Structure 1
Amino acid sequence: MNLDVLSHILSFQDFGELVVLVRNSLIAGALLGIVGGLIGPFVITRNLPFAVHGISELSFAGASIALLVGVNVVTGSVVGSVLAALIIGLLGNRARERNSIIAVLMPFGLGLGILALALYQGRAANKFGLLTGQIVSVDNPQLGWLLAISVVVIATLLVVWRPLTFASVDPDVAAAAGVPVRTLSIVFMLALGLSVAVSVQIVGALLVLSLLVTPAAAALRLTVSPLWVPVLSMTFAVVSVVGGILLALGGGLPISPYVTTISFAIWLVCRLVGGRREKRSPRRSQAPARSAAVPEKAEAAS
């Protein structure tokens, strides 16, 4: 029985032909890995993992409503994500306020999305895919949308990288140095909202954290280098999602279990390696994780 289950999960019959069918998903997954890897370190530095989950619930609601009324699902997902990001960015000035707002938005978004899916009379796979992801759901128009959104997010992050890093690490000093902390916060939340919208299309609303948080958390266990943290984070994210898609082809299952397992395994290995390094070098363990990817403050303010 166990062997039958294992053979079903890891069956690779006609693998080459199946890879061709999910070419768009592989491209989208690689884009998602790059976007998630770049934005992930900021999510951790700014203490926003909870916000990622909150935004994903509104993104799920928007996508579900779009599916119900017959409009582009990516558009609905983006609208829901951006709306949630704006609410959190504008109203959640302090961590306590932000967490309260997110805790209110999450059940509302999830309930609204479930209502829309309950009213939807189409394929059950479409409903399930919004929650856990699908490997064959990315057609050419969706890929175009995902590519455009990814380019916008990456370009935005590159433009504001230095001041955003400064504002993320020490917002009080950054504000005193003339950095527009409030504006950068809203810009970042919008970029995060778009990143979540892209992620939901591939891994589903329930498991977005596995790509926007876990790879960055793994990278931060290995290094605090301003260069290597985003590079490793992107690498881990791309390996997780592309590897998950390729493994999912074998069993015909949703990609989520594979993506999350690979992502968790990478984090676990990095955690163990980082723990050994900290034991050998006690001083390193005293350095806060948020110091990663931090340029000189004076330079970042300029």
Structure 2
Amino acid sequence: MTPIEFFQDLSNPTLSFLPKALLVSLFSSVICGVIGSFVVLRGMAFIGDAVSHAVFPGLAVAFVVQGNLMLGGAAAGILTAVLVALFSQNRRIKEDSLIGVIFAAAFALGIIIISRSPGYAGSLESFLFGSITGIPMEDVWTVGIGGAGVLLIVAIFGKEFVAVSVDRDMARAVGLPVLWLDMLLYVLVTIAVVLSLQTIGNILVLALLITPAAAARLLTDRLGVMMILAPLIGGFSAITGLYISWSLDFPVGGTIVLVATSLFLLAWLFAPKHGLLGKVRQQRTRVIDNDSHLMKDRFIENHSQ
């Protein structure tokens, strides 16, 4: 299938699920790209994995009572995020250890709850691997509005998030409410994860949160530029991944993640300053410069005698 045929299918009324899938993929990529920038900056990739597991009991309860899965997952994830933020203030136990304890317990609770409901297998598969082609229009609105809210909060508290991420002790010393900022950032991570679950599922959602931001981190040292590049990389991965999956009948979520991973590998290799080849080139340049300076010093020394 050519790209032109793909865009023709997007405008085909009988394939109305396809543009909805594209919209949700783009919304999720932008949201995860922005929030993922803070996650990568703070080195807290584990929290994304934790939240994706922690939403499970909320989804299970919502499924059992036939409620809104997105709201159920968000409630459980936010509760878990608040607990992690509270417990992590005790520096005796590291943050990643607390996350491991809490998300494992939450996931186990979700398994028990959902196993008590008949016909849970199909819902569990959808939760694990995503169901982007079956998204109703109201969920598209939910992802769009929720994502806009997340981006607005980041715009308001962005400087504070950066201060806490770079130096928590300094942020606390200048009077910033570190605990509340931690809670707010964890809640935003939770919302980003929940909004993206239908796109690529629970298993792969961490990749959408981390991979584009990690690629952007290799390409720039400026957080503002990184927060622009990460959504662009994620959005390109979503469009390209959806096109490839539609053309070759591949799973959408896995294809999007593999495209994003390919872009990360390209950045890892070719990034001008932090890429592997860029570092080799810089090292060779330093060696050449040192040799030229040494030859110049020897020339001056020989002609001064």
Is the structural similarity TM-score above 0.5?
yes
Q: Which runs of 5+ in 2 are unaligned?
A: 284-305
C-alpha distance in 1 between matches for 2:194 and 2:33: 15
Q: How do residues 84-163 of structure 1 correspond to structure 2 at under 5 angstroms?
A: 84-93=80-89, 94=91, 96-122=93-119, 124-163=121-160
Aligned to 2:193: 196
User: Structure 1: where are the runs of 5+ without partners?
Assistant: 1-6, 283-302
Superposition RMSD in Å = 2.3
Q: Give the letter for the 1:278 counterpart.
A: K
* CA separation of 1:180 and 1:54: change in aligned 2, threshold 3 A: same
- Counterparts in 2 of 1:53 and 1:147: CA distance versus 1, 3 Å: same
Q: State yes or no: 1:222 paired with 2:223.
A: no
Structure 2 contact 241–256 (Cα < 8 Å) conserved: yes
Contact kept in structure 2, 1:248 and 1:258, CA below 8 Å: yes
Contact preservation (8 Å) 2:17, 2:134: no
CA 1:151–1:216 in 2, change beyond 3 Å: closer, same or farther?
same
* 1:183 corresponds to: 180
Code of the residue aligned with 1:108 in structure 2: it is A
User: Structure 1's 169 and 237: CA in aligned 2 closer, same or farther, altered over 3 A?
Assistant: same
Whichever residue aligns with residue 145 of structure 1, its letter is T
Which SS does the other structure have where 1:208 is aligned?
helix
Q: Is the 8 A contact 2:54 2:80 kept in 1?
A: yes
Higher mean C-alpha deviation, range 240-249 or range 193-202: 240-249
Instruction: Give the stretch that moved more between structures: 201-210 or 237-246.
Output: 237-246
| TM-score under structure 1 length normalisation | 0.82
Measure, in 2, the Cα distance between the counterparts of 1:127 and 1:202: 15
SS in 2 for 1:281: helix
Partner amino acid for 1:51?
Answer: I
CA 230–252 in structure 1, closer or farther in 2 if over 3 Å, else same: same
Q: Is contact 2:37–2:223 with CA below 8 Å preserved after alignment?
A: no
Match of 1:278 in 2: 279
Structure 2 equivalent of residue 244 of structure 1:
241
Alignment partner of 1:59 is 2:55: yes
Q: Give distance in 2, aligned partners of 1:19 and 1:230.
A: 33
Instruction: Return the offset for 1:124.
Output: 4.6
Q: d(CA) in 1 for partners of 2:106 and 2:241? A: 27
Larger radius of gyration: 2
Q: C-alpha distance in 1, partners of 2:217/2:203? A: 24
Q: What corresponds to 2:66 in structure 1?
A: 70
Amino acid at match of 1:279: V
Query: 1:135–1:245: 8 Å Cα contact kept in structure 2?
Result: no
Paired residues, number: 271
Equivalent position to 1:26, from 22, 25, 46: 22
Q: Which letter does structure 1 place at the counterpart of 2:49?
A: H
Write the distance in 2 (CA, Å) between the matches of 1:97 and 1:68: 35
Paired position in structure 2 for 1:205 = 202
